[in-house]
Amino acid sequence: MIQIQNLSKSFHKNQVLSSLDLEISQPGVFAVLGPNGSGKTTLIKCILGMVIPDSGQIRYQGASITNEWKYRAAISYLPQIARFPENLTVNELLQMIRDIRDQAARAEEIIHLFGIEPWLNSRLGTLSGGTRQKVNLVLAFMYDNPVIIMDEPTAGLDPVALIRLKDLIQAERQKGKIILVTTHVMNFVEEMANEIVFLLDGRIRFRGELAALKRRCGEPTLERAIAKLLQGECLEAGPAAGKTAAENPDKGFFQPKTEIPCSRY
Amino acid sequence: MLKILKYSLSDMMRSRWIYIYTLFYLLLTTALFWLSPDLSKVIISLMNIILVLSPLIAALFSTLYFQQSREFTELLLAQPVRRSSIFWGQYFGVALSMSLSLLTGLGVPFLFYGLLVSGEIWNFLVLLFAGIILSLIFSGLAYYIALKTENKIKGFSLTILLWLFFAVIYDGLFLLILVLFNDYPLDKFALGASLFNPINLARVLILLKLDISALMGYTGAVFQQFLGSAPGMSIAVASLLVWAALPVWGIRRVAMKKDF
């Protein structure tokens, strides 16, 4: 369904993605992991056409997405930071998106699920971070689209909302959808993900099932296995696989490369 | 694009400033009518204000709107909508609301003071056209600058500088050249140079229509002398339309490449 070939992108001098290849052909939940600044959000935004890659190809159902826009009707997107027009109310925002997308929606069901009825007539600027994220989730889940892309969906959610979100993702997976999630919460990955896509320095350095990752790293828990990956151990051989984090101390987990300005996100 | 335009327009209509701007023109025009009920005198007085003020206000509104609607833009970019539709829709939303302000602010008092029964209707329409096309041009240029610059303050300063250049500095440079090269024939140069300033073009257009040689200035006189009133006006209108089309094309070009 989604094929990415040789994707490269740099912001000024900062190479965020370098010759990345990824193919997702079967449904399931794919957790995109990696340290801050490893290019997760940029990868997602490239798929959505919000960031224009320097080179490389992205195909959706065999057709290139360059300068295309219709394919976005098949993708639900949950952005990392819920940034909405501040002076609209929740209802006006939902109405606007429904008007623009013009697809069958089940907004009421999701609104009820996350319990945001009391805020429907409040301005988005006055909402708390968690409530904004719930509105964000309504926008992402109200359409029955074959692809769902979520950037940090758990941010700011209370435990009840988190459980509802997990149930919702399970239900969508049952329908045979492709669900792409970035997160830093390892419990969430362990519980939800079918496959892990590990990004480091703009390349995919591991791709496979959770069990395979644990076996490869010889660690009993996912958290420890990921920590090993982040330290540059047990990575898949790649063009730069010879270099470990020890040789590249500035590219380790705790010292990310130059920060990308927030406006880029 | 029409859906985006609808939302941008309704967004602009929520802003208190657009009403203050309309009210300003309403009061100004009414006040000028109190001073002299002669329609053509009011048109001339308004001309000088509109030529300077409408580009400035349009540019400022456009920059502020783009900078404040960044969230809205990001939300739209993830929807199945053409990129060019998003940015054109927003630009036309701003430009249209500025034009509506002008239309109401000038139109209502003129109608009230008997525009339709006077012989001034065409002169008034030319004045209105000049105001609207200047609003379109300068909101387009400002929108283009806002798209191009990541830094808000830088974008804002560039926009104000652009207005200052066309409204004030350009004429100063023009005069300076005329004085320095006094001994050479500068008619063709003056003709050419005036095409590169939309505010000048609008002024020449109105003065040619009103046929007031005393106010025409050097460029106006050259226009009339070389081209005659009617061809001169056609060229002025054509150049203004080119000026209005340029930013629309530029917005598309930048929008297709920009990352969010």
pLDDT tens per residue across span A165-212: 999 999 999 999 999 999 988 889 988 999 999 998 888 888 888 888
Probe site for chain B from A11, A263, A264 (most B CB atoms < 10 A):
A263
For residue B4, list chain A residues with Cβ-Cβ distance below 8 A: 100
Cα B67–B73–B75 angle (5° rounding)? Answer: 135
Q: What is the DSSP letter of A115?
A: T
Q: pLDDT at position A257, please?
A: 42
Distance set, CA A10 to CA A3, A13, A49, A260 (Å): 20, 6, 15, 10
**Poorest-confidence range of A2-16, A72-86, A120-134?**
A72-86
Could you read off the pLDDT of A142-175 as tens digits, one per residue? 999 999 999 999 888 899 999 999 999 999 999 9
Q: Is the ipTM of this complex over 0.95?
A: no
Judge contact between A264 and A11, C-beta under 8 A: yes
Class in CATH terms, A2-244: alpha beta
Residues in chain A closer than 8 A to B81 (CB atoms): 69, 72, 100
Using an 8 Å Cβ cutoff, are B151 and B71 in contact? no
Domain assignments of chain A as residue spans, ordered by start: 2-244
Low-confidence ranges of chain B (pLDDT < 70): 213-217
CA atoms within 13 A on the CB side of B47: 26
Average the pLDDT over A51-64 and give the result.
Answer: 90
pLDDT of B214: 67
**pLDDT at residue A102 in the model:** 85
Q: Is the pLDDT of residue A133 over 60?
A: yes
CA–CA separation, B42 vs B107, rounded Å?
13
SS3 content of chain A, % helix, strand, coil (to 5): 35, 25, 40
> Rounded mean pLDDT of A87-102?
88
A96 and B7: CB-CB below 8 Å? yes
Q: Which of A20-34, A43-57, A209-223, B219-233 has the lowest mean pLDDT?
A: B219-233
Res. A40: pLDDT tops 50: yes
Pair B145, B155: CB distance under 8 Å? yes
Residue A240: the pLDDT is: 43
- A69 to B82: CB separation less than 8 angstroms, yes or no: yes
Tell me, what amino acid is at A47?
I
Whole-number pLDDT of residue B147: 92
pLDDT at A197: 92
Q: Do B78 and A50 touch (CB under 8 A)?
A: yes
Name the B residues in 30-69 with CB < 8 Å from any A CB. 69
Q: What is the pLDDT of residue B67?
A: 87
Could you tell me if residue A209 is left (phi over 0), alpha (psi between -120 and 50 degrees) or otherwise beta?
A: beta
Q: Per the structure block, which two tokens stand in for B260?
A: 């969010």
Q: Is the pLDDT of residue A256 over 70?
A: no
Count A/B contacts: CB-CB distance under 8 Å: 64
Strand order in the sheet with A147-151: A75-78, A147-151, A178-182, A28-33, A195-200, A203-209
Q: Which one has a higher pLDDT value, B221 or A221?
A: A221
